Structures are given as structure tokens and as C-alpha cells.
Amino acid sequence: MTESSAATGTPRRHPTAGFRIFEGQATIVMPDGSYIHVLNEIGSRVWDLLNGQRTESDIVDLICEEFEITRDVAEKDVREFLAALEANRMLG
Amino acid sequence: MNAYQAIIARNWKSATPYSALFELTYICNHACSFCYNCPTGQKELNTQQVFEALRKIADFGVLFLTLSGGEPLCRKDFFEIAREAQRLHFAIRIYTNAFLIDEAMAERLKQEVHPFELEISLHGARPETHEALTRVPGSFQKLVNAVKALRQRDMKVLLKTPITRLNMGEVREIRALAEELDSELHFDNVITPKDDGDQEPLELGADEAFMKRWWSDEFKDVREEKVPMRRDDKEISAVCGTGRSGFALDPYGNIYPCVQWRRRVANIMEIPSMKEVWRGSSVLKEIRRVAEEIPQTTLKNSEVGEFTAFCAGVAWLQTGDPTKMYPQAEVLARYRKKTYVELQARAAAGEIIEGLDQTFEKCGE
């Protein structure tokens, strides 16, 4: 079984995902074709940052900086968001 | 309205395209009698030129990319192109006749291209009907095998069937075949002229007597549109997404407002970016103006306008005027309306009819 990028500590978007970020909003199409995902502003930014080069902690730092939210809130939001992406097989 | 529909509505309003159809080649391994393609004999874009075009399309923010033809799989560099499209994060759809898709090809498509959908042309439920149109012996069985190979790999398949005089007698069997193949099916009632205006393909269209039956209860279990729908021009004012939600490219790099309305905008190899031509093109400005005018004139003044799936490109090819009602649209709308009025009367008499008063998606939506 292949280890997901989330488990290795530097999560990344699934390489087969089709997506565009337009006016700060990400629209994502997975190849199973069943859903089109539209993310909110913070989710879109996290998605943009998921290049497999940054740790979850790096991403939290950037979100704190850019959206002026506390680290506790950012940690919880990013963790839950990554779990949702993992559950939807959108990380790879 | 969900978040995705909100994006679509916003993009339509600002004429920001989210889809592109790229005809990679006019080479084809079928010889369909009603094919609308008109190769000019010019040199088609090479691999590096296609890559450059893809980069310009991606930079412009387009998400959905349809790889079409001709038969796109006939290009020897198809997988190179598709991999580049994937690297650019397009959501990829492929239009194909499936003739080249065997088990190995299906596996490569799954592993290397990851399309979210393959649209495959099916012209009949029997070999003799399908092959009367493709004019290639064995093409029916190859298609069936291809769809099975794709579905075994959980790849989404949409079968597309233009209704013709040849297959109108077996639409129910075609529906059954699609179900057997675990695939979606879309019937298309409109046969279009060739891109150069040649009207010959129209002779293959189903006759009016069939269209009348098509909209009756006889075929309500075969149609996707169980209950006839109406237009809704309130949220989105243009008749369709031509020059607005998407655009098309031919194998030579020419850009058109859509696959049907072949008013050349520019050549993608000759422009620095799509953004420049998209905002500045006088052709596109005119196309958008006409597309906004049609609901307020042609459709408003027609007794069946509310029920018309109008294509300005087909109108232009058939009548020379993109705003003029053309026979196929008018006939279809007349019977769609007739059935709608009958169902309204039955609903008024107490019959429960689900789905009445729904509106249909516009082309390009």
C-alpha cells in the first residue's frame, strides 16, 4: 500500500486533480468525475500551498500570517481540512 | 444555487471562460457520413505547438479541457499531449469513437491521463446500424469492448447518440445497451451542417413524425428529459455560452467562440496570451451581443421560444443568420411545448407529475 503524502508529513494535492484558483476560490475536479469541489477562501489557499514541499506546520504558519487568525484556530482548521481532503482521496 | 453554480453564473456574467474544446487532429479512423469537420489541408499543430497552446489556455484560467478531433487518439503524440494537459491541472474530457481503445489503451488512459469523462459516439444498438454511419466494419463491437474495458476500470463513460433516420427505430434498444454497459447516454436530436455550410448531413436527421413521437409518452422512459423543460433566461441572459463560458480550437490553432459557431477569432500561435484576444476581439464582442439579443428577439417573438434549445451556430450555418429560427429547433420546440401543455393540463386535473416546471441547461452551462 502506498503511503499518502499527508502521512509523510508534507501533504500535496492529488496529482490527478484538475483545478483552477480564480479570484481566490479553488474549483477542483477529481477524475472519478462524481463531484466538483468548490473551496472557501482559506481552503483554497491551503489547497494552493499543498505542493508536497511544505509540512502541515509550515502551512499553518502561512495561514496565520495571511488571514490574521490565531495559531490554535489555524491548526484546528488546517488539520480538519486535510483530514477531509484525505477522506475524499484528494491528497496523493 | 450551490457554490459551483454561483461560479458559473459569475463567469457567464463576466464572460470568463472555464472550458475549451481542442480538436487535436482531423485525422480519423471512421468515415461518418454526417461528420461536420472540414479539413483544409493545412499543417496541423505539432507537439510543441500544442503544448504552447495548452499553456496559454491554462494561463487563462480554463479548467475543463476537452480533447477532440477527428479522432484524438489517432495522434501518435496523444499521450504526450494528455500528460502535459494533466501537468497543467486541466480537468480532462476526451471525445472519441473508441475504435483504438482496447484493454491496454484503457489502462494507459486510466494510469496516464485520468480523464474525468470519456464521451463516445454510439450510432445504433446493432452493428449494421452503427456501421452504416461509421462506414467501418467491426466498429460496433470494438466500441462495446472499449466501453466495457473503461467501465471495468471505473472510468466514466457518456455515450452520445445523434438521432438519425437510421437509428430512430432502435432508440429503446440503444437505451438498453447503455444500461447494459453501465454508461450514461445522451440522445441528440439535432444533426448539424458541415462546418463549411454544406447541408447534406441534415438529410440524415430523424423526420418530424418521429420527433412528435419522441416528445410523447411513448418515449418518456427513453428520453433523459422525462418531462419537457423550459428555458430560463432570467439568471443568465445569453442564449448559450458561445464566446463567453468557453471556446474551441481547431487542429491549426484557430480559435472560435464555440465548436459550432466557426467565426475565427485569432490563431493561438500568433497571440501572446488568450487574455488579450478574449477582451479585445471585435468578433467575440459581436458574438456576445448576438447571443444576448436572441432571447430578447428571436425567442421572445416565437410562440415556442420558451421551449427552444437554440444554437446560434447552427442557425448561422443553416440560414446565414445566427438570430434566425431554424427548422430543427422550431420543430423540436413545438413538440416539447405540446407535451408540456398536455402535462400541465393533466397536472391541473389532479395527476401528480414530477419535474414539471424545470428549466433546461443551456449549451455551455
Domains and CATH numbers, chain A: 9-87 (3.90.930.60)
Residue B287 near residue B311 (C-beta atoms within 8 A): no
Chain B residues with beta carbon closer than 8 angstroms to that of A25: 7
> Quick check: B91 and A16 CB within 8 A?
no
Confidence of residue B66 (pLDDT cuts 50, 70, 90): very high
Mutate to test the interface with A, among B63, B87, B92, B111 (most CBs of A within 10 A): B63
* pLDDT value of position A1: 42
* pLDDT value of position B316: 94
Residue B86 near residue B42 (C-beta atoms within 8 A): no
Q: Given a cut of 90, is residue A84 above it in pLDDT? A: yes
Confidence of residue B13 (pLDDT cuts 50, 70, 90): confident
Grid cell locating B77: 503524440
* pLDDT value of position B265: 97
Sign of the torsion formed by the C-alpha atoms of B164, B72, B360 and B324? negative
Strands B64-68 and B19-23: parallel
* pLDDT value of position A4: 60
CB pairs under 8 A between A and B: 46
Count Cβ atoms within 10 A of the Cβ of residue B132 and give its class: 0-12 exposed, 13-18 middle, 19 or more buried: middle
Residue B88 C-alpha, separation from nearest chain A C-alpha, in angstroms = 8
pTM of the predicted model as reported, rounded to 2 decimal places:
0.93
> Quick check: B116 and A20 CB within 8 A?
no
Confidence of residue B190 (pLDDT cuts 50, 70, 90): confident
* pLDDT value of position B3: 79
Q: Cell match 417573438: residue? A: B301
Quickly list DSSP for A13-72. Answer: B-TT-EEEEETTEEEEE-TT-S-EEE--HHHHHHHHH-BSSS-HHHHHHHHHHHHT--HH
Residue B172 C-alpha, separation from nearest chain A C-alpha, in angstroms = 26
Mutate to test the interface with B, among A2, A12, A22 (most CBs of B within 10 A): A22
Whole-number percent of chain B with pLDDT over 70? 99
Chain A residue closest in CA terms to B87? A15
Chain A residues with beta carbon closer than 8 angstroms to that of B90: 18
Residue A17 C-alpha, separation from nearest chain B C-alpha, in angstroms = 7
Cis peptide bond upstream of B70, omega within 30: yes
Confidence of residue A3 (pLDDT cuts 50, 70, 90): low
The pLDDT tens digits of the residues spanning B120-141 come to 999 999 999 999 999 999 999 9
Chain B residues with beta carbon closer than 8 angstroms to that of A19: 63, 89, 91
DSSP H/E element including B288? helix B282-296
Confidence of residue B358 (pLDDT cuts 50, 70, 90): confident
Give dist(CA B322, CA B314) in Å, integer. Answer: 7
pLDDT, mean over chain B = 93
* pLDDT value of position A5: 63
Tell which wins on pLDDT, B3 or B69: B69
* pLDDT value of position B305: 93
Q: Under DSSP, is residue B292 helix (H, G, I), strand (E, B) or coil?
A: helix
Region B299-325: mean pLDDT is 94
In this complex, the residue of A20, A30, A32 whose CB is nearest that of residue B63 is: A20
> Quick check: A25 and B7 CB within 8 A?
yes
* pLDDT value of position B226: 86
Give dist(CA B54, CA B81) in Å, integer. Answer: 9
The pLDDT tens digits of the residues spanning A5-63 come to 666 689 999 999 999 998 889 999 998 866 889 999 999 999 999 999 999 999 999 99
**How many residues would you count in chain B?**
365
List the A25-29 sheet strands across, edge first: A18-22, A25-29, A36-38
Chain A residues with beta carbon closer than 8 angstroms to that of B2: 38
Residue A89 C-alpha, separation from nearest chain B C-alpha, in angstroms = 14
